[in-house]
Structure 1
Amino acid sequence: MGVFRRSGSRIRLEDYAVESFPVTAGHDDKWLENTKAALASLRHRAQLTGPVVLVLPAHLVLTKLVKAPPVAAAKLRKIIQFEAAQGIPYDLADVVWDSVIASEETDGLMVLLAAAKLAAATSLCAAAQAAGFEPRLILPAPLATLASFRLTPSVSDGPTLVLNLGERSTTLLLVEAGRFFLRTLPFGGNGANRQIASRQDGGREEAGTANAAEALAARLTQEITRTVLHFRRPGGLTPPAHVLLTGGGAQLAGLAEALTGRLRVPVGQLDVLAGIQIANDAAPGGATC
């Protein structure tokens, strides 16, 4: 949890606090229970209060890209409403949903629909309110990843693929100039996270970590290839010139090297802190950016 303020054209981190979930939290459907406990602990320990933006994990969010013709705003809203009713596999009364323009082409728009079950969103807001926070916005994790990337100074020219390796899902975010395409994969870095935790405890050998990195890289490469080909046809997307990793699974030793070997493009880490200012009293050891 972080406290941010605008400082000119940049974002400034004023304060933060961290509460870790159990490593097995993603495997026993106790995500909400652990979230409630974490929020209560943060409120008590860090004395943070006030309005909050909540980020909903990618595995709880349905995203879908739809194409819309270049029409007036009022008509576009009706088209998006129709596409939501057709493309979201639940009654719209049972979900919360919104949309954002992902790209503008000469022949129309690509619109991202994002939806979550109303029960999940309501429970998350209730957990935040019970801990003393006032939810103002729920942001899907893939869009939070996009916001983080846009805050980060560009590593080089050309289209970028950002991989956010969560516990239960992986976000593939393709960004090129002012447009983006994204896809959520139904697997995450859970095995990688267990490898990391075991290595920190001294319980696993390096060979096991290397095998995990190669296996994850192979699976990701297949999905990346499919995704780029899928979006290349309707959107004219250029293959990524480089890849940035983030999320818990990105810490897996050897993963960046394994992906570099398979994708034949540079692979690095998404340095979110490079794009924000950090208050002296918020940085460990007085470090600043």
Structure 2
Amino acid sequence: MAKSRVIGLDIGTTHVRATEVEFGRGGPSLGGEATVVNFGEVALPAGAVRECEVAEPQTVGSALRQLWLQAKFSSRDVVIGVGNQRVLVRDLNLPWMPAAQIRSSLPFQVQDMLPVAVDDAVLDFVPTSTFAGEQGNVIRGLLVAATKETVLANIAAVETAGLRPMMVDLDALALARVMARGEARDRVVGIVDIGARSTTIVIIAHGVPRLVRILPTGGDHATDAVASTLGVSFVEADRLKRQLGVGYAAPPEYASAVECVQSVTTVLVEAVRNTMVYYASSNPGAAAELLLLTGGGAQLTGLGQYLSSASRLPVSLGQPLSTITVHGPRLGPAISDRQHSLAVSLGLAFGVAS
């Protein structure tokens, strides 16, 4: 196979990030050869993205132009992602039929399952397995339904920057692709990607995504609570949150800040634990064996230990670059320290090889 390059673009709440990947033999597959050749990120002004959705396309577009100017990516073709509370992901069984027929029939199959009108949604179906039903073969998979408004807002920001969106993907599926490589390919693994304003959970069984849940809690919610309680700036609150961590003793003057961080973190950890319990009860004998943390919020000191204790599962920081070569003139050794943040953009690049 001829080599090809793909750029995955992650539009987050606080940053825009892009990763350029060169694919060799095997293409963008779980076992294919891949090399990260470029990466860049630019901070976003507060409010440009709200609730994980582009609110100011012009502002985000300006940041993207700056990103392309700084990183000097080889193309303006990008794969972009979506992932917030207005994206529905549900189990769905369908009678076996060709992929093209599934896509064309989805609006009729799922119109009663959606919280919005079918005409206001962008639909996709991700097959995960097949089995024999009473009326013939059945395809089991995940229904993905995003509001058109969400998708079009991301596309508008990208096009404002002069970029060309070649594909729109779900952030959770991007995570599944890049984290299901190597040893994780043969295991049942839970991915917990903690962003600024949301957390994405994906359970992958032997390389196949089986469950997706998007939680409305992220790292910045703890920072907001500390800032409000102590009456300090967001920047100072974030610094203090990282200094205190979760589950550690602190001086008495920081007791209220510790309580804020603990309260928000407990909500998140309980939601992750409940997700694992639900999956285990729905899949007897095939529960998750390991949790991998990614995203900026994964760096909170003590979070991994707390989550491991609550879920009774081993927890590790995800290493999306562990099965991928890194080689590019603009990439320094520090990129390995940033891999928790580039997981989504890296996974988006795995969605297609143009």
Pick the TM interval, shorter chain: 0.7 to 0.9
Determine what percentage of the aligned residue pairs are the same residue: 23
Letter of the structure 1 residue corresponding to residue 115 of structure 2: P
Aligned residue for 1:95? Answer: 121
The structural deviation recorded for 1:219 is 2.3
Aligned residue for 2:19? Answer: 2
Structure 2 residue 169 is the aligned partner of structure 1 residue 169: no
Q: Structure 1: 5+ residue runs without aligned partners?
A: none
Aligned residue for 2:111? Answer: 85
Deviations 1:1-56 (A, max 9, x none): 12211033222111121112346666588844253232122133334342100111
Q: Mark the CA change 1:83 to 1:214 in structure 2 (over 3 Å): closer, same or farther.
A: farther
The structure whose RCO (Cα within 8 Å, separation 6+) is larger is 2
Preserved CA contact (<8 Å) 2:242 2:300? no
Range with greater deviation from structure 2 (261-270 or 97-106): 97-106
Match for residue 62 of structure 1 among 88, 97, 102: 88
Q: Mark the CA change 1:72 to 1:124 in structure 2 (over 3 Å): closer, same or farther.
A: closer
Once residues 162 and 176 of structure 1 are traced to their aligned partners in structure 2, the CA distance between those partners, rounded to angstroms, is: 11
Aligned residue for 2:69? Answer: 44
Aligned residue for 2:44? Answer: 21
Preserved CA contact (<8 Å) 1:243 1:268? yes
The structural deviation recorded for 1:221 is 4.0
Preserved CA contact (<8 Å) 2:49 2:55? no
Return structure 1 stretches of 4+ with deviation > 6 angstroms: 286-289
Q: How many equivalent residue pairs?
A: 287
Once residues 323 and 259 of structure 2 are traced to their aligned partners in structure 1, the CA distance between those partners, rounded to angstroms, is: 33
Once residues 294 and 51 of structure 2 are traced to their aligned partners in structure 1, the CA distance between those partners, rounded to angstroms, is: 24
The structural deviation recorded for 1:278 is 1.1
Q: Mark the CA change 1:286 to 1:62 in structure 2 (over 3 Å): closer, same or farther.
A: closer
Aligned residue for 1:252? Answer: 300
Once residues 136 and 100 of structure 1 are traced to their aligned partners in structure 2, the CA distance between those partners, rounded to angstroms, is: 19
Match for residue 270 of structure 1 among 318, 326, 332: 318
The structural deviation recorded for 1:201 is 4.3
Preserved CA contact (<8 Å) 2:186 2:207? no
Range with greater deviation from structure 2 (197-206 or 254-263): 197-206
Letter of the structure 1 residue corresponding to residue 330 of structure 2: A
TM-score, normalised to structure 2, is 0.69
Aligned residue for 1:111? Answer: 141
Preserved CA contact (<8 Å) 2:47 2:55? no
Aligned residue for 1:131? Answer: 161
Deviations 1:134-175 (A, max 9, x none): 110011111111112123x22596421111112222112111
Once residues 173 and 196 of structure 2 are traced to their aligned partners in structure 1, the CA distance between those partners, rounded to angstroms, is: 17
Aligned residue for 1:181? Answer: 211
TM-score, normalised to structure 1, is 0.83
Preserved CA contact (<8 Å) 1:210 1:254? no
Deviations 1:264-283 (A, max 9, x none): 22111111111221114132
3-state SS, counterpart of residue 86 of structure 1 = coil
Letter of the structure 1 residue corresponding to residue 190 of structure 2: L
Preserved CA contact (<8 Å) 1:165 1:247? yes
Deviations 1:194-246 (A, max 9, x none): 67954774687524676566435532343234334444455546222111111
Letter of the structure 2 residue corresponding to residue 251 of structure 1: Q
Range with greater deviation from structure 2 (80-89 or 209-218): 209-218
CA RMSD of superposed structures (Å): 3.3
Q: Mark the CA change 1:260 to 1:101 in structure 2 (over 3 Å): closer, same or farther.
A: same
Structure with more of its chain in helix, by fraction: 1
Q: Mark the CA change 1:218 to 1:32 in structure 2 (over 3 Å): closer, same or farther.
A: same
Q: Structure 2: 5+ residue runs without aligned partners?
A: 1-17, 26-31, 227-233, 245-249, 340-354
